[in-house]
A and B are shown apart, each in its own frame.
Chain A
Amino acid sequence: NAGVTQTPKFRVLKTGQSMTLLCAQDMNHEYMYWYRQDPGMGLRLIHYSVGEGTTAKGEVPDGYNVSRLKKQNFLLGLESAAPSQTSVYFCASSYRGDRDTQYFGPGTRLTVL
């Protein structure tokens, strides 16, 4: 099993550009999450999903959109990137019966110039 994978690993964008980050998990987990991590700020939840076709806002959802069309995939979109969105983005998933154990992907390092 690959676990949780994220694509791409690195990306540099210009202000105003758009992009989509892809998260995939092969563990049949119901719950999926997107976090951003900035120095001194810790992990902050952007959006999450408790099942296919459902999404919910986390702590810092502004400027991001998500979709969960398939159970194994959770997409994070930036419609118009801003320098404040420079960060490391982590995706995670968990099983409904044990949602306390989150499995994280390796992260995407995004720089917005």
Chain B
Amino acid sequence: RKEVEQDPGPFNVPEGATVAFNCTYSNSASQSFFWYRQDCRKEPKLLMSVYSSGNEDGRFTAQLNRASQYISLLIRDSKLSDSATYLCVVNPFQGNTPLVFGKGTRLSVIA
């Protein structure tokens, strides 16, 4: 089982739609989780952290389910500018071991 797995998509949704992405991770000792966003031909950037209690930032909601080892990202009222690849990222918490990135889920929001 890969460390971090995501549905690659693409997810094609109309403007205004609600879309959700899931991500699973294999290391049960992992302690911190994130979503990064990568626009086409650009570098990844941190979108938001994922807390155990769930967290919201405007139209974006991230949730963590430790028992099932998955993370989700919900985008409400999709905008054209939300079109990007969303990377699920896990900190395995093994010494200085760096973050583990998923392959990403591509989202296209269509007018």
Q: Which residues of A are in contact with B by a Cβ distance under 8 Å?
A: 31, 33, 35, 40-43, 45, 48, 50, 56, 58, 90, 99-102, 104-107
Contact = CB atoms under 8 A, between A and B. Distances in A.
Contacts of A102: 44, 46, 99
A100 B96 contact: no
B62 interface: no
27 contacts: A31-B98, A33-B98, A35-B101, A40-B8, A40-B103, A42-B87, A42-B102, A42-B103, A43-B44, A43-B87, A50-B96, A56-B96, A58-B98, A90-B43, A90-B44, A99-B91, A99-B99, A100-B34, A101-B46, A102-B99, A104-B43, A104-B44, A104-B45, A105-B43, A106-B42, A106-B43, A107-B43
Interface in B73-101: 87, 91, 96, 98-99, 101
Contacts of B99: 99-100, 102
B107 to A, nearest CB: 16
B101 A48 contact: no
